[in-house]
Structure 1
Amino acid sequence: MASAIRIHQFPCLSDNYGVLLHSAATGETVSIDAPDASAVLAALAETGWTLTHILVTHHHADHVQGMAELKSRTGCKAIGPANPAIAGLDQTVADG
Protein backbone atom coordinates (compact mmCIF):
# COMPACT_ATOMS: atom_id res chain seq x y z
CA MET A 1 0.00 0.00 0.00
CA ALA A 2 1.34 3.43 -0.92
CA SER A 3 2.15 5.77 1.90
CA ALA A 4 -0.49 8.42 2.41
CA ILE A 5 0.10 12.08 3.07
CA ARG A 6 -2.02 13.36 5.95
CA ILE A 7 -3.42 16.89 5.73
CA HIS A 8 -4.26 19.07 8.72
CA GLN A 9 -5.97 22.41 8.07
CA PHE A 10 -6.45 24.96 10.85
CA PRO A 11 -7.56 28.60 11.18
CA CYS A 12 -4.93 31.28 11.67
CA LEU A 13 -4.79 35.04 11.62
CA SER A 14 -8.21 36.63 11.25
CA ASP A 15 -9.10 35.35 7.80
CA ASN A 16 -6.65 32.62 6.73
CA TYR A 17 -6.01 28.94 7.15
CA GLY A 18 -2.77 27.09 7.71
CA VAL A 19 -2.04 23.70 6.20
CA LEU A 20 0.32 20.98 7.39
CA LEU A 21 1.19 17.96 5.23
CA HIS A 22 2.67 14.92 6.97
CA SER A 23 4.24 11.72 5.68
CA ALA A 24 4.17 8.90 8.21
CA ALA A 25 6.63 7.00 6.00
CA THR A 26 9.36 9.65 6.28
CA GLY A 27 8.22 11.55 9.37
CA GLU A 28 8.50 14.81 7.44
CA THR A 29 5.97 17.57 8.00
CA VAL A 30 5.58 20.56 5.72
CA SER A 31 3.79 23.81 6.44
CA ILE A 32 2.38 25.51 3.37
CA ASP A 33 3.51 29.07 4.06
CA ALA A 34 4.13 30.42 7.56
CA PRO A 35 1.20 32.71 8.28
CA ASP A 36 1.34 32.73 12.09
CA ALA A 37 3.95 30.89 14.13
CA SER A 38 1.75 30.41 17.19
CA ALA A 39 -1.06 28.83 15.14
CA VAL A 40 1.35 26.52 13.31
CA LEU A 41 3.03 25.50 16.58
CA ALA A 42 -0.38 24.80 18.16
CA ALA A 43 -1.34 22.64 15.16
CA LEU A 44 1.95 20.75 15.46
CA ALA A 45 1.29 20.15 19.17
CA GLU A 46 -2.24 18.96 18.38
CA THR A 47 -1.04 16.47 15.75
CA GLY A 48 2.19 15.42 17.43
CA TRP A 49 4.10 16.12 14.21
CA THR A 50 7.52 17.78 13.94
CA LEU A 51 7.95 20.52 11.36
CA THR A 52 10.73 19.78 8.87
CA HIS A 53 9.99 22.22 6.04
CA ILE A 54 8.09 25.37 5.14
CA LEU A 55 7.03 25.76 1.51
CA VAL A 56 6.61 29.47 0.83
CA THR A 57 4.26 30.33 -2.03
CA HIS A 58 4.91 34.09 -2.22
CA HIS A 59 6.15 37.12 -0.29
CA HIS A 60 2.97 38.57 1.23
CA ALA A 61 3.26 39.10 4.99
CA ASP A 62 0.35 36.79 5.78
CA HIS A 63 2.33 33.98 4.14
CA VAL A 64 5.80 34.59 5.64
CA GLN A 65 5.46 36.49 8.92
CA GLY A 66 5.85 33.36 11.07
CA MET A 67 8.81 31.90 9.17
CA ALA A 68 11.69 33.23 11.31
CA GLU A 69 10.11 32.04 14.57
CA LEU A 70 9.19 28.64 13.15
CA LYS A 71 12.72 28.12 11.83
CA SER A 72 14.18 29.17 15.18
CA ARG A 73 11.85 27.00 17.26
CA THR A 74 11.86 23.88 15.08
CA GLY A 75 15.05 23.93 13.01
CA CYS A 76 12.99 23.42 9.85
CA LYS A 77 14.17 24.47 6.39
CA ALA A 78 12.32 27.03 4.27
CA ILE A 79 11.95 26.61 0.52
CA GLY A 80 10.43 29.20 -1.77
CA PRO A 81 10.74 31.40 -4.84
CA ALA A 82 13.88 33.48 -5.28
CA ASN A 83 12.56 36.87 -4.24
CA PRO A 84 14.45 39.53 -2.27
CA ALA A 85 11.23 40.25 -0.36
CA ILE A 86 11.40 36.78 1.26
CA ALA A 87 14.11 36.69 3.92
CA GLY A 88 15.39 33.47 5.45
CA LEU A 89 14.94 30.94 2.68
CA ASP A 90 17.28 27.95 2.86
CA GLN A 91 16.59 26.89 -0.72
CA THR A 92 15.11 28.76 -3.66
CA VAL A 93 13.14 27.39 -6.57
CA ALA A 94 12.21 28.80 -9.96
CA ASP A 95 9.77 28.10 -12.74
CA GLY A 96 10.61 25.12 -14.90
Structure 2
Amino acid sequence: MSKQDLIVTALAALQPEYLDVLDESHMHSRGLETHYKAVIVSSAFAGLNSVKRHQKVYATVGELMGQIHALALHTYTPEEWAAQGVAPASPTCRGGH
Protein backbone atom coordinates (compact mmCIF):
# COMPACT_ATOMS: atom_id res chain seq x y z
CA MET A 1 0.00 0.00 0.00
CA SER A 2 1.40 3.43 -0.92
CA LYS A 3 1.86 6.19 1.66
CA GLN A 4 -0.89 8.10 -0.13
CA ASP A 5 -3.26 5.16 0.44
CA LEU A 6 -2.19 4.95 4.08
CA ILE A 7 -2.94 8.66 4.57
CA VAL A 8 -6.37 8.27 2.95
CA THR A 9 -7.14 5.26 5.15
CA ALA A 10 -6.08 7.11 8.31
CA LEU A 11 -8.07 10.24 7.44
CA ALA A 12 -11.23 8.19 6.90
CA ALA A 13 -11.48 8.18 10.72
CA LEU A 14 -12.54 11.84 10.50
CA GLN A 15 -15.61 10.74 8.52
CA PRO A 16 -14.99 13.31 5.78
CA GLU A 17 -17.73 14.37 3.43
CA TYR A 18 -14.96 15.07 0.93
CA LEU A 19 -11.36 13.88 0.98
CA ASP A 20 -8.65 14.34 -1.61
CA VAL A 21 -5.04 13.39 -0.91
CA LEU A 22 -2.55 14.27 -3.64
CA ASP A 23 1.05 13.11 -3.87
CA GLU A 24 2.91 16.29 -4.82
CA SER A 25 6.39 14.82 -4.44
CA HIS A 26 7.10 15.44 -8.11
CA MET A 27 6.99 19.18 -7.35
CA HIS A 28 9.82 18.91 -4.81
CA SER A 29 13.42 17.82 -4.65
CA ARG A 30 13.29 15.38 -1.73
CA GLY A 31 12.32 12.22 -3.59
CA LEU A 32 9.24 10.05 -4.01
CA GLU A 33 6.39 9.79 -1.50
CA THR A 34 7.58 12.80 0.53
CA HIS A 35 5.11 15.66 -0.07
CA TYR A 36 1.34 15.46 0.12
CA LYS A 37 -1.63 17.80 -0.01
CA ALA A 38 -4.85 16.87 1.78
CA VAL A 39 -8.21 18.57 1.32
CA ILE A 40 -10.51 17.39 4.09
CA VAL A 41 -14.13 18.41 4.59
CA SER A 42 -15.52 17.15 7.87
CA SER A 43 -17.98 18.22 10.53
CA ALA A 44 -15.26 17.15 13.00
CA PHE A 45 -13.69 20.57 12.35
CA ALA A 46 -16.74 22.56 13.50
CA GLY A 47 -15.82 25.13 16.13
CA LEU A 48 -12.06 24.53 15.76
CA ASN A 49 -9.53 27.09 14.57
CA SER A 50 -6.97 26.08 11.95
CA VAL A 51 -4.32 25.09 14.51
CA LYS A 52 -6.74 22.76 16.32
CA ARG A 53 -7.90 21.31 13.00
CA HIS A 54 -4.33 20.56 11.97
CA GLN A 55 -3.58 19.02 15.36
CA LYS A 56 -6.62 16.77 14.94
CA VAL A 57 -5.35 15.65 11.51
CA TYR A 58 -1.81 15.03 12.81
CA ALA A 59 -3.19 12.94 15.67
CA THR A 60 -5.33 10.98 13.22
CA VAL A 61 -2.44 10.30 10.84
CA GLY A 62 -0.26 9.38 13.83
CA GLU A 63 3.12 7.72 13.33
CA LEU A 64 2.80 7.96 9.55
CA MET A 65 3.70 11.66 9.90
CA GLY A 66 7.25 10.56 10.70
CA GLN A 67 7.53 8.87 7.30
CA ILE A 68 6.77 11.92 5.15
CA HIS A 69 8.44 15.29 4.77
CA ALA A 70 5.39 17.51 4.32
CA LEU A 71 1.61 17.37 4.49
CA ALA A 72 -0.15 20.53 3.31
CA LEU A 73 -3.55 20.67 4.98
CA HIS A 74 -6.70 22.36 3.76
CA THR A 75 -9.39 21.68 6.33
CA TYR A 76 -13.00 22.79 6.00
CA THR A 77 -16.38 22.26 7.61
CA PRO A 78 -19.11 21.25 5.17
CA GLU A 79 -20.49 24.80 5.33
CA GLU A 80 -17.11 26.37 4.56
CA TRP A 81 -16.58 23.97 1.67
CA ALA A 82 -20.03 24.74 0.25
CA ALA A 83 -19.13 28.45 0.27
CA GLN A 84 -15.58 28.05 -1.08
CA GLY A 85 -15.68 24.79 -3.04
CA VAL A 86 -12.00 24.71 -3.91
CA ALA A 87 -8.67 24.53 -2.09
CA PRO A 88 -5.81 26.84 -3.06
CA ALA A 89 -3.18 25.57 -5.48
CA SER A 90 0.11 24.46 -4.01
CA PRO A 91 3.06 26.82 -4.46
CA THR A 92 6.06 25.90 -6.55
CA CYS A 93 8.83 24.36 -4.47
CA ARG A 94 11.60 26.73 -3.49
CA GLY A 95 13.55 24.16 -1.47
CA GLY A 96 17.15 23.16 -1.91
CA HIS A 97 18.48 20.08 -3.59
TM-score relative to the length of structure 2: 0.35
Larger helix proportion, structure 1 or 2? 2
Larger strand proportion, structure 1 or 2? 1
TM-score relative to the length of structure 1: 0.35
Task: For CA contacts below 8 A with separation 6 or more, give which structure has more relative contact order.
Answer: 2
